[in-house]
Structure 1
Amino acid sequence: MRAAVFHDRGDVRVEHVPDAEVGPGDLLLRVSVVGICGTDAHEFDSGPHMFPIRSAHPVSGHVGPMIPGHELTGTIEAMGTDVEGFELGTLVVSGAGISCGHCFWCTRAMTNLCQHYSTLGLHQNGALAEYVAVPASTCMDASSYGISADTAALAQPMSIAVHAMRRGRLAQDESAVILGAGGIGAFLTYAVADRCGSVVVSDLGTERLDIATALGATHTVQVGSDRSVQDVLDANEIIPSVVYEVSGSAAGFQQALTIASRGARLVMVGLQHGPLEIDVRGVSLREVELVGTNAHVCASDLPEALRLLAARKGGWTDVAPVALSLDELVEEGLKPLAERRSARIKTLIDPWASATRKTVA
């Protein structure tokens, strides 16, 4: 089969590799569409960081060149032994995260913190290929939601946003601020707007802010303009209960701390690249909660992600307007993401396409 294979920093090649093989408990999927994200671009640009290229991953055991791709959807071609509840030809989505099911965290429905966690496309071969074998335990039937495969490919990042939204314990009568409207920030905007009626979104780009408005933001602020987030909060008498920091920048985190009101929850969605100094005394005196979030709980967050994706009238072509071919992955997908010049909020890859195509809502 054809697949994109990561060999080393800056070295991703489209090659013919042995066909994916279905094992016990697995589904063999004919891959429909795959999303790529900042993690994939980061690995390409400066990695390997998470990809187990030079030493074996402690859980998956993979070592050496690897097929990325952890945001995936596809149709079932074959099923391994002990698989129940699925039918051949069904469109499914995979959460990609593989948990053991019996450790301390798994038994408390915190599978994303599993002691033996690994992820398809990050720690073992993923879906940037024509076929992929995935554990059935990570998959959900998407056929009943009435969405296209292109939309279904957004389920994994939407589930990350759903998990982050829930970590903030956001109530219907509360207000939220989202700093950063990129990939996860856009999905988070929609998830938060579905939960409460007041959402302030800040970002560098006007196009992203326009899409944030279409996704339910009630107020938007362009970074660097003559209006700050605090100005908007004051002018509209908004006291945010939750601040979601999605940019992953040190400046974004400091801004989040500054605008967090007394008793607010600051949910750290974007991953910081180094240690930060914070006013711990101020955090204590204002009783601000610092809340970490990582990945998603497949069993609870993935169904809600599918519901949200299906609920948006008109689909998601503004967020993900095109699907690239495998041959365009590096030049049109990974490089623009790594260099922060991609015009798309979400980049999709169709491993069967011969050239860029428009997505289908």
Structure 2
Amino acid sequence: MRAAVFHGKDDIRLEDVPDPTCGPDEVLLAVHATGICGTDAHEFASGPHMPPLHDRHPFSGHRGPMILGHELTGVVREAGARVRGFASGDLVVTGAGISCGECGQCRRGRTNLCTRYYTIGLHRDGGLAQLCAVPAATCLHVAPYGLTADAATLAQPMSIAVHSMRRGRLQPDEHAVIVGAGGIGAFLTYAVTSVTDRVAVLDIDEERLRIATNLRAAHALRLGDGIDPAAAVADWALEPDVVYEVSGTRAGLETALSLLPPGGRLVLVGLQGEFVPMDLRRIALAELEVIGPSAHVCGADLPTALQLLAARDGSWDDVAPIALSLDDLVEEGLRPLAERRSTRIKTIVDPWAPTTRPTQMRHADA
């Protein structure tokens, strides 16, 4: 099969590699599309950070050059001997995260914190290839949700957003502010507005804010040019109960902290790239909560993500307008993401496409 193989920093090669084998608890997918995100771009630009290129991963067993891609949909080509409920021809989406099901965190339902957790496309070969083997336990059928395969490819990042939203314990009568509307921020906007209509989104990019408004945000504010976000939020009579910081930048974090009233909750969705000092005295005296979400709980968050994707009127092509070919992956996908100049909210890749194509995002029954 054809695959994009990660060999290290700034080194992804298009190669013909052996087809993957299907384990007894796995399904072999003909990959329809795979999303790429900031994590993939970070690995490409400065990795390896997570892929086990040099030392064998203790749980996945992988070592050596690896195929990235953890946001994928595909059609089942083969089901393992112990797999039930999936058959050849089924369109499925995978949550990508693999948990043991036996440790204390798994027994408590927090499979994302499993002591043996690892991820397809980060710790073993993933979906930037024509075929990918994945555990059947991480998969859901797409057909019941009436989604196209391209739209279903957005389910894994949407599930990250759903998990982050839930970690903030947001209630229908509460106010929320989202700092950062790219990538996960756009999906988080839609997830948050499924709970409350009192939502403001802040970003530095006008186009992202326009899309956030289309995703039901009540207010949108372009940061910069001396604008005081706290004053703007006050003008909207919106005192945030929850602030979601999604940008992963120090400026975004400082903005988020400035908006928190006493008793507020800060959810750190974006990962900071360096140590950032915080005023722990203020956090203590104002009874602020700082909450960390990690990945998603596949069994709880992935079905909700598919439901949300199906609930939107119209198309998701404003979020993901095209599917790149593997030939365009680096120069049109990963490099612009790494350099923060990508013009798309979401970039997906079709490993079978000879050239870049428009996405097909409308519901299958529309």
TM score, norm. by length of structure 1: 0.99
2:268 matches 1:273: no
In 1: Cα distance, 2:284 partner to 2:340 partner? 36
Cα deviation digits, residues 206-227 of structure 1 (max 9, x gap): 0000000000111111110453
In the superposition, relative to structure 1, how do residues 73 and 311 fare at CA in structure 2: closer, same or farther (>3 Å)?
Answer: same
Q: What is residue 19 of structure 2 aligned with on the other side?
A: 19
1:42-82 CA-to-partner distances (Å, cap 9, x unmatched) read 00001111111111112111111000000000011110011
Distance in 1 between the 2:259 and 2:313 partners?
A: 33
Which consecutive residues of structure 2, in runs of 5 or more, have no partner in the other structure?
Answer: 362-366
Distance across 2 between alignment mates of 1:70 and 1:344: 18
Query: What is the number of equivalent residue pairs in this alignment?
Result: 361
Aligned counterpart, 1:176: 176
Q: Which residue of 1 aligns with 2:216?
A: 216
- 1:321 correspondence with 2:326: no
Say if 1:221 and 1:228, in contact at 8 Å, map to a contact too. no
**CA shift for structure 1 position 275:** 1.8
**1:54 maps onto 2:28 in alignment:** no
**Alignment partner, residue 91 of structure 1:** 91
Whether 1:252 and 2:229 are equivalent positions in the alignment is: no
Q: What amino acid sits opposite 1:259 in the alignment?
A: L
Q: Counterparts of 1:21 and 1:100 in 2: how far apart (Å)?
A: 21
Q: CA RMSD in A?
A: 0.8
Residue pairs, 1:116-195, within 5 angstroms = 116-195=116-195
Structure 1 stretches of 4+ moved >6 Å = none
Q: Which runs of 5+ in 1 are unaligned?
A: none
Counterpart of 1:233 in structure 2 is 233
How far apart are residue 157 of structure 1 and its match? 0.2
Q: Which residue of 2 aligns with 1:79?
A: 79
Deviation at 1:258, TM superposition (A): 1.4
TM-score by length of 2: 0.97
Q: Distance in 2 between matches of 1:242 and 1:7?
A: 40
Contact 1:71 1:156 (C-alpha < 8 Å) held by counterparts: yes
Cα distance in 1 for residues equivalent to 2:138 and 2:3: 21
User: What is residue 302 of structure 1 aligned with on the other side?
Assistant: 302
Matched residue of 1:244: which SS?
strand
Letter in 1 for 2:145: Y
Q: SS where residue 330 of structure 1 aligns?
A: helix
Question: In the alignment, which residue of structure 1 is the partner of 2:364?
Answer: none
Residue 203 of structure 1 is matched in structure 2 by: 203
SS in 1 for 2:201: strand
SS in structure 2 opposite 1:137? helix
Fraction of identical pairs, as percent = 59
User: Which residue number in structure 1 is paired with residue 38 of structure 2?
Assistant: 38
What is the CA–CA distance in structure 2 between the aligned matches of 1:232 and 1:255, rounded to whole Å? Answer: 12
Tell me if structure 2 keeps the 8 A contact 1:34–1:69: yes
CA distance in 2, matches of 1:236, 1:128: 44
Deviation of residue 242 (structure 1)?
A: 0.2
Following the alignment from structure 1 to structure 2, what is the Cα–Cα distance between the partners of residues 65 and 139? 25
Distance 2:276 2:328 in 1: 37
C-alpha distance in structure 1 between counterparts of 2:161 and 2:228, whole Å = 24
